[in-house]
């Protein structure tokens, strides 16, 4: 009798899940109000509308990876790094790299770092009326931010890296191991624009059974089925919506500009030039010792894509006097969307950044001079 009722319960769970799926609830992502203040080719610069009356003077520019989309940082209202930072009084900008197409096939890393990123930084500096801003790079965007901070230290006041690889010579992450045997030239020469699906299949292969089977089973397992319980129905719908938001993000993989992909694979993953200060952009060597601004290097302990060994060496490679490493017991994605992220990661960033985001403040090691902020009228005129 017991066995029959438990089978019935499992069956009801499955059917409830299917019913919700069949209705296909609409899911929205990246809902925090924002304005697009700049576009260049496929790239857009988004400015989030502040949620407090007076924001900290130094704005944050967030830089996400070229693979997958930036809105993982603003997945849903209660799981949003962006919203949390806004509520903590920061003025937040983010770069949306867009979806490269054939015409972007020849974009190089130099175009991304010294082109798009530099133009975005200049615009944020101009709008804030400050010489330096905070750069917050995530994953591959963190690598770009590190490159940028070494090349233009005069424009970066604080550098925050989240799960960002800089040392690619590690045997811990599967992507690092596989990349060594990938013929990047052949991939780029054939595809031109490297398909997002090609890369996505690689990500799925890092743990095929869990990523292709178990997570779907887990979703149905979370469905509750209490007959006649209306709040339970709402909870179920929320479970499915959250799941679909994540699915939408996972499979929203933009194609990659071929030349940038080629250089990233060969110079970073295969030759590991960045950490050795040998990587060149536009003929100029990137010397990480030129990074002197305060650095907060955040990692996820169970990161299967960017192992801690890929991020830790950054602190020794830079000249910053103020540098901190923080490791959270979570995964590569969980660090942005997990409940821990909202409870611990964001507050930790705010705590570190708040005393460093004021005007003319005395920082622990140096006094940073900032220029006079521009008034709204001046901004409008400029």
Partner 1 sequence: MNMEETNLESTHEFFDMWVKTYEATLGKVSEIPAIGPLREKSEKISRGFPLFFSLYSTWMDTVVDFQNISMEALKRMNAKTVTLEDKTGTESYKELYNIWMESYSETFKEFMKSGHFSSDMGRFTSNFLDVQKYNREMLEENYLKPSNLPTKSDIDELNKELYSLKKQVKELSGRINELSGNK
Considering beta carbons, is residue 33 or 208 the nearer one to partner 1? 208
- In angstroms, what is the minimal distance from the CB of 19 to partner 1? 21
Q: Record the tokens describing residue 129, joined without a space.
A: 């009326």
Task: Please name the residues in contact with 23: beta carbons below 8 A apart, sequence gap of 6 or more.
Answer: none
CB 70 within 8 A of CB 62: yes
Gap between the Cα atoms of 156 and 293, Å rounded: 7
- In angstroms, what is the minimal distance from the CB of 74 to partner 1? 29
Considering beta carbons, is residue 150 or 257 the nearer one to partner 1? 257
Among 208, 329, 347, 355, binds partner 1 (CB under 8 A): 208
Considering beta carbons, is residue 87 or 122 the nearer one to partner 1? 122
- In angstroms, what is the minimal distance from the CB of 106 to partner 1? 4
Among 10, 154, 197, 229, binds partner 1 (CB under 8 A): 10
Closest CA to 116 of 144, 142, 89, 137: 144
Residue 177 as a binder of partner 1 (CB under 8 A): the answer is yes
CB 140 within 8 A of CB 277: no
3-state helix, strand, coil in the chain (%, to 5): 50, 15, 35
Residue 2 as a binder of partner 1 (CB under 8 A): the answer is yes
Considering beta carbons, is residue 124 or 346 the nearer one to partner 1? 124
CB 63 within 8 A of CB 97: no
Helix (H, G, I), strand (E, B) or coil at 380: helix
Closest CA to 223 of 234, 242, 239: 239
Residue 206 as a binder of partner 1 (CB under 8 A): the answer is yes
Considering beta carbons, is residue 104 or 255 the nearer one to partner 1? 104
Considering beta carbons, is residue 52 or 213 the nearer one to partner 1? 213
The angle subtended at Cα 142 by Cα 140 and Cα 145, nearest 5°, is 115
Gap between the Cα atoms of 90 and 360, Å rounded: 17
Q: Write phi, then psi, for 118 (nearest 5 degrees).
A: -60, -40
| Segment interacting with partner 1 (CB under 8 A) among 183-191, 248-256, 292-300, 366-374 | 183-191
Helix-helix angle 215-222:230-250, to 10 degrees: 160
Residue 213 as a binder of partner 1 (CB under 8 A): the answer is yes
Say whether 139 is catalytic.
Answer: yes
- In angstroms, what is the minimal distance from the CB of 361 to partner 1? 28
Size of site (CB under 8 A) for partner 1: 38
| Segment interacting with partner 1 (CB under 8 A) among 202-210, 241-249, 268-276, 311-319 | 202-210
Residue 380 as a binder of partner 1 (CB under 8 A): the answer is no
Residue 41 as a binder of partner 1 (CB under 8 A): the answer is yes
DSSP-assigned letter for residue 255: -
CB 297 within 8 A of CB 313: no
Among 57, 192, 331, 358, binds partner 1 (CB under 8 A): 192
Q: Record the tokens describing residue 165, joined without a space.
A: 């690889």
- In angstroms, what is the minimal distance from the CB of 281 to partner 1? 14
Give the H/E segment covering residue 76: strand 74-76
Residue 103 as a binder of partner 1 (CB under 8 A): the answer is yes
Q: List residues with catalytic annotation.
A: 139
Interface with partner 1 (CB under 8 A): 2-3, 6-7, 9-10, 41, 102-107, 111, 115, 122, 171, 174, 177-178, 180-183, 186-187, 189-190, 192, 205-210, 213-214, 217
């Amino acid at each position: 009798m017991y066995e029959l009722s438990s089978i019935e319960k499992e069956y009801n769970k499955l059917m409830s899940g299917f019913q919700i799926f069949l209705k296909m609830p609409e899911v929205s992502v990246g809902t925090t109000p924002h304005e697009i203040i700049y576009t260049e080719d496929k790239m857009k610069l988004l400015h989030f509308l502040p949620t407090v009356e007076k924001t900290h003077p130094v704005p944050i520019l967030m830089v996400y990876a070229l693979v997958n989309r930036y809105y993982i940082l603003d997945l849903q209202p209660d799981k949003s790094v962006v919203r949390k930072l806004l509520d903590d009084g920061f003025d937040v900008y983010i770069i949306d790299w867009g979806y490269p197409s054939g015409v972007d096939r020849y974009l190089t890393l130099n175009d991304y770092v010294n082109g798009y990123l530099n133009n975005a930084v200049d615009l944020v500096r101009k709008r804030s009326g400050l010489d330096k801003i905070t750069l917050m790079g995530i994953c591959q965007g963190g690598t770009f931010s590190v490159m940028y901070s070494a090349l233009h230290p005069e424009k970066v006041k604080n550098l925050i890296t989240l799960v960002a690889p800089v040392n690619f010579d590690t045997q811990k992450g599967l992507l690092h191991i596989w990349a060594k045997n990938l013929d990047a030239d052949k991939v780029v020469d054939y595809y031109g624009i490297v398909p997002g699906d090609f890369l996505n299949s690689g990500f799925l292969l890092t743990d095929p059974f869990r990523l292709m089977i178990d997570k779907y089973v887990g979703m149905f397992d979370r469905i509750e089925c209490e007959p006649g319980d209306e709040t339970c129905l709402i909870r179920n719908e929320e479970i499915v919506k959250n799941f679909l938001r994540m699915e939408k993000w996972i499979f929203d993989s933009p194609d990659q500009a071929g030349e940038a992909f080629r250089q990233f694979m060969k110079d970073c993953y295969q030759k590991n030039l960045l950490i050795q200060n040998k990587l060149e952009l536009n003929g100029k060597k990137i010397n990480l010792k030129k990074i002197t601004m305060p650095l907060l290097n955040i990692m996820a302990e169970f990161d299967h894509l960017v192992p801690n060994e890929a991020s830790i060496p950054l602190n020794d490679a830079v000249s910053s006097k103020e540098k901190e490493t923080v490791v959270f017991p979570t995964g590569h994605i969980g660090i942005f969307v997990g409940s821990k992220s909202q409870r611990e990661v964001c507050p930790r960033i705010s705590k570190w950044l708040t005393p460093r985001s004021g005007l003319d403040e005395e920082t622990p090691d140096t006094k940073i001079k900032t220029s006079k902020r521009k008034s709204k009228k001046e901004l409008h005129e400029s």
